[in-house]
Amino acid sequence: MTGLADAAAPPAFGPTAAPRIVIVEDDAAMRDSLVWLVESVGHETLAYESADAFLAEARLPCIGCVVTDMRMPGTSGLGLIEKLRARQSLLPVVVITAFASVRDAVTAMQLGAVNFLEKPFHDQDLLDLLNDAVAETRDTARACCRARAAAERLETLTARELEVMRVMAEGLRNKEIARALDISPKTVEIHRQRALAKLEVGSAVEVHRLLETATDAAPCTAFRDFS
């Protein structure tokens, strides 16, 4: 029970899913050419003629990369990055544009774009970027899965149990936890024991790590809205 689908057929979800490259470009010829380029190396593509059309999707890809034009009707390339991040998507974005200003390039990079290519560009440059970006999404997706698994286990605890776990994860022993929470050491012992059983761990250190990984990737809400 790993939460992942069978290894036989690549799952449509999770870190091992097939990557999907999103092409956002208002010019049909350019869009087709990008789709052709990306599919020529075996990547699945999703093409949209505007950022808004892409953002209208209920579920965004999780493994993959966005390749977007800068100037388009409606939401711009920069706006797209902002709105993706607002939706907690960690999808990397490559901006390609014919009319680039340094300001826009700097802003895009500050918003977390992986690169900002000027047309015309070398096909291979884009493909190289995509490979790196996809690999990166796999790593973050893996981290998200771990974090989510940790968070889910923690959610099975009662409020009090979680409280005890938090104090215990600071390195205090039962007696000290009891003083900190102003309850009997015996009660602490009960909470502790039940919580450790629920979390399926055997030491304070493991609880500490569980709490850490759960909070580290807190923004990533287990691919809710992603796939």
Please, what's the largest Cα pairwise distance for the chain?
A: 73
Looking at the Cβ atoms of 85 and 160, the one nearer to DNA is 160
* Smallest separation (angstroms) from its own copies to the CB of 210: 10
The yes or no reply on residue 203 touching DNA (CB under 7 A) is: yes
- Distance separating alpha carbons of residues 54 and 80, to the nearest angstrom: 9
Give which of 31, 45, 221 is closest to 144, Cα–Cα.
221
Q: Which stretch binds DNA (CB under 7 A): 2-10, 43-51, 80-88, 179-187?
A: 179-187
The yes or no reply on residue 200 touching DNA (CB under 7 A) is: no
Looking at the Cβ atoms of 74 and 171, the one nearer to its own copies is 171
Q: Which does 205 bind (CB under 5 to 8 A by kind): DNA, its own copies, none?
A: its own copies
The yes or no reply on residue 174 touching DNA (CB under 7 A) is: yes
* Smallest separation (angstroms) from DNA to the CB of 147: 23
Plot region of 101 (φ>0 → left; ψ -120 to 50 → alpha; else → beta): beta
> How many H-runs (helices) and E-runs (strands) does the chain carry?
9, 5
* Smallest separation (angstroms) from DNA to the CB of 180: 12
Q: Which of 5, 180, 190, 201 binds DNA (CB under 7 A)?
A: 190
Residues in touch with its own copies (CB under 8 A) = 100-103, 105-106, 109-110, 115-116, 118, 168-173, 201-206, 208-209
CB 59 within 8 A of CB 81: no
3-state DSSP percent of the chain in helix, strand and coil, to 5: 50, 10, 35
CB 50 within 8 A of CB 2: no
- Distance separating alpha carbons of residues 207 and 209, to the nearest angstrom: 5
* Smallest separation (angstroms) from DNA to the CB of 36: 56
Q: Which does 170 bind (CB under 5 to 8 A by kind): DNA, its own copies, none?
A: its own copies
Query: Residue 44 carries which side chain, given as an amino acid letter?
Result: E
Number of residues lying near DNA (CB under 7 A): 21
CB 226 within 8 A of CB 62: yes
Tokens 């309850």, residue located: 183
Looking at the Cβ atoms of 140 and 174, the one nearer to DNA is 174
Q: Which of 74, 171, 185, 219 binds DNA (CB under 7 A)?
A: 185
Looking at the Cβ atoms of 28 and 205, the one nearer to its own copies is 205
- Distance separating alpha carbons of residues 87 and 79, to the nearest angstrom: 12
Binding site for DNA (CB under 7 A): 158-161, 173-176, 181, 183-187, 189-193, 196, 203
